[in-house]
Every structure is written in structure tokens, then in C-alpha cells.
Amino acid sequence: MTNIVFVAPLPPHTGGIAYCSQMFLHQHPPELAVHPFGFRSVFPRWLHPGGGGRWEPLPGISYPFSGFNPISWRRAADLAPGEGRGVLILPWWTAALAPATVGIIKHFRRSHPGWKAVLWCHNVRDHEARPFARRLTTRAFGGADAFIVHSQAARDELLELIPSARVLTAFHPLYPLPVPLPCQEEARLGLNPDPGALTVLFLGTVRPYKGVDTLLDAARLLRGDERFRFTVAGDFWRGTRHLVPALRSAGVRVEAGFLSWERMALHLAAADLLVLPYRRASGSGILMTAYAHGLPVLASAVPHLAEFLPEGAPTFPPGDAAAMAAALTALAGDPGNLAALRKRFTAQAPAYGWDRFFALLLPFLERLENE
């Protein structure tokens, strides 16, 4: 059995990484003895420019850390259960975490020199450029023994920074919602869309790199085509809030703000197609949510997404609204096209199950622990 100390953002924090961390705790096999610890706070408010929202905290979890309080990092010295070996795992997704990552690993190693440290890289690089991000990232990565990434593209980025890095490349696992989805008819009654139109959904946090401006331009190109109804639902971060009135003026239904699980389920159930018009990406939790619930996806052809789309799934160049509109028109032109795409996603979904993720992770951790 491999001992794991898992230091991560966990509910009541929200977002894809907190939910992935929660799923890890719920899905791990008995071969892993996981000891979880959370963050009371991850970032100062000015570094998290979203609209907020909270989930229910997880019972029985200790939250000893603050991402920006060095005194709290010293508590890492007391985390490991008993003697022996094991693996400390910390999620990584932004250079803003570098000081906390360095501090937690340093204090942990002082008391537990036989343990290894692994960074689970949801992103290798920040989505938005920040001053000194590369230097901070390289410094934090220098303290880790190994890394987990979710795509070949992310692996390449990591090896560019740390050529000798030991890396496990393991797909992003499925993200089923923790609440059931209603039937489509019920969901559409709740949202009042046109029942005869193709309901096209963007769901999740709206940030500049996610390309909602491309969706806006595509919606403008298709304005007046009664076959389409567009919805954007999620928390608009600073730098994207100007899009809300523009989207509405283009006929896009907008639900701006933090979404409860029930609202997310309603939108997913009502949709015919999820769109991911990302300008760049390092993977996508919402793509895996679509897989988990049998919803087909139209995505831009960025490497981190294209690796995980079914063979033959349509894509469009990032930022190309005309190509996105053409792809949507092709899907709407024949009902069989969308049905065939849905079948491809349904058939591929089991390949991204948590059981297969852990089948890759367990031997990697066992070898690392025993070195």
C-alpha cells in the first residue's frame, strides 16, 4: 500500500481543480492510503478575479494551509502518518502557487526525508501571462521528484522547462456532476429555450483564453438562423465582463455568475452540443463532464483538446469564428451528423474513467516510493 499525503484545494473552494481533488479522494482504490489536507484560502482576492461562490466543505478534512501565509506552510512538517516512505502530492496550475509549493515541500522534507514529492500539473504554464511566471515555475518544479500531466502537449511544455523531469502522462479523468441531470424536456422547460432549435452551450468560468469572443462572433454570423440558440452560463472573470451585453445583443442567452451544481445540470441536460472555442488550453474539465454525460462537443483545434476528441470529431482553428459557424451549420444541416457525433463521444467516454487513470498512476507511485 502506498501512503499519500494530498495537499490540495478542496471544497468549499470551487472550480475544476477543487472538484478534481475531491473526485480523487472519492475514487482512489484501496491500494492508496490517502491523507488529505486542504487550504483555508488559496489566493488573495485580487489574484482570483471571479465572482465567487462556495461549495459545501468536505467532512473530516483538515484545512491547515493558506496559499499566501508562510507561517502555515510550516505545518507541512507534521503531516505524514507515522514512519516509513510515501508520496506527497500537490496540484499545480499557476505560478502564483510557487512560494507555497516551495515552502510546503521544504518543511515536509525536513521531517520526512524518505518521502517523494509529486506535482500534479493541471497546467504547466499559466493561462494568462504573468511577470516572472517562468522563473517562479522553474523554481517550484526544481523541488519536485516527479510530475503528473494530462497530455502529450503538457509533457512537452514541462520537459522544455525541466529536461530531466520524471513525468507520468495520464489523461484527465471523467468529471460527472454530483447531482443527476433532469431529462432534456424538463430542463428546457426550466430554461425556456426554443424547443425546435439546436441548443449550443458554453459552460463554466469565462476567461480570456477560453475564446468566448469567438463564440460571440460566430453567433453574430448565425444571427437570424432559427436553427440555433446559444447559451453562455458561468462566472465571468475580470477582463471578460464586457462580453455580457455584447452576447445578449447578439441573441445569446447569458447566465452570468456562480452556478450551483443544479444549475449546471439543468444547462447540460438542455443542451444539444457543448462548444469549447478555446484559444489555448492545457486540458478541460468541462470536456470530461460532457463525456461523462453523453453530450457531444465542438472544440477548437488546440493540441491539449484535440488529443482527447473522438476520431472524426469536427474542430475549427482557434479564433476563427467563420470556421466555427461553418462547423455548426454542418452539424445542424443533417440531424444524423449530431447523432453520429454523440455516438462517438459515448463510445470513447469509458477510456477516460478513473479506474484507467489509477491503473496508470499506481505503478508510477509505487516505483517512485520504493526508490
The pLDDT, as a whole number, for residue 231 is 96
**CA separation for the pair 88, 111 (Å, rounded):** 13
Residue 52 has pLDDT above 80, yes or no: no
Give 45 or 50, the one with higher predicted confidence.
Answer: 45
Are residue 200 and residue 158 in the same domain, yes or no?
no
Are residue 301 and residue 358 in the same domain, yes or no?
no
Predicted confidence (pLDDT) per residue in 166-189, tens digit = 999 999 999 999 999 999 888 988
The pLDDT, as a whole number, for residue 197 is 86
Predicted confidence (pLDDT) per residue in 147-169, tens digit = 999 999 999 999 999 999 999 99
Whether 179 maps to a domain, the answer reads no
Are residue 95 and residue 128 in the same domain, yes or no?
yes
Are residue 118 and residue 14 in the same domain, yes or no?
yes
The pLDDT, as a whole number, for residue 53 is 62
Predicted confidence (pLDDT) per residue in 262-321, tens digit = 999 999 999 999 999 999 887 789 999 999 999 999 999 998 888 999 999 999 999 999
User: In sequence order, which residues have a C-beta less than 8 Å from that of residue 85 and are 6 or more positions away?
Assistant: 3, 114, 115, 116, 369, 370
Helices (H), 169-284: 184-191, 212-221, 243-249, 261-270
Residue 50 has pLDDT above 60, yes or no: no
How many structural domains are present in the chain? 2
Residue 160, classed as helix, strand or coil, is: helix
Are residue 205 and residue 309 in the same domain, yes or no?
yes
Q: Using DSSP bridges, classify how beta strands 228-234 and 146-149 pair: parallel, antiparallel or unpaired.
A: unpaired
Choice among 29-38, 128-137, 163-172, 257-266 with the minimum mean pLDDT: 128-137
Are residue 127 and residue 51 in the same domain, yes or no?
yes
The pLDDT, as a whole number, for residue 284 is 87
CATH number at residue 268: 3.40.50.2000
Whether 165 maps to a domain, the answer reads yes
The pLDDT, as a whole number, for residue 47 is 57
Predicted confidence (pLDDT) per residue in 311-356, tens digit = 999 999 999 999 999 999 999 988 899 999 999 999 999 999 999 9
Give 244 or 43, the one with higher predicted confidence.
Answer: 244
Predicted confidence (pLDDT) per residue in 245-264, tens digit = 999 999 999 999 989 999 99
| Lateral strand order in the sheet of 116-121 | 62-66, 32-41, 2-8, 87-92, 116-121, 146-149, 167-169
Residue 82 has pLDDT above 70, yes or no: no
**CA separation for the pair 239, 68 (Å, rounded):** 24
Average pLDDT, the chain: 91
Are residue 144 and residue 156 in the same domain, yes or no?
yes
Whether 44 maps to a domain, the answer reads yes
Predicted confidence (pLDDT) per residue in 93-127, tens digit = 999 899 999 999 999 988 888 899 999 999 998 87
Are residue 157 and residue 216 in the same domain, yes or no?
no
Q: Using DSSP bridges, classify how beta strands 198-203 and 167-169 pair: parallel, antiparallel or unpaired.
A: unpaired
Give 126 or 4, the one with higher predicted confidence.
Answer: 4
The pLDDT, as a whole number, for residue 216 is 98
The pLDDT, as a whole number, for residue 49 is 57
Model confidence band, residue 45 (pLDDT cutoffs 50, 70, 90): low
Range of the domain at 16: 2-173+353-370
Q: Which residues of 169-184 are buried (b: 16+ CB within 10 A; e: fewer)?
A: bbbbbbbbbeeebbee
Residue with cell 529536461: 163
Are residue 32 and residue 78 in the same domain, yes or no?
yes
The percent of residues above 70 in pLDDT, for the chain, comes to 95
Are residue 166 and residue 135 in the same domain, yes or no?
yes
Residue with cell 475544476: 16
- Which sign, positive or negative, has the C-alpha torsion 171, 9, 25, 72? positive
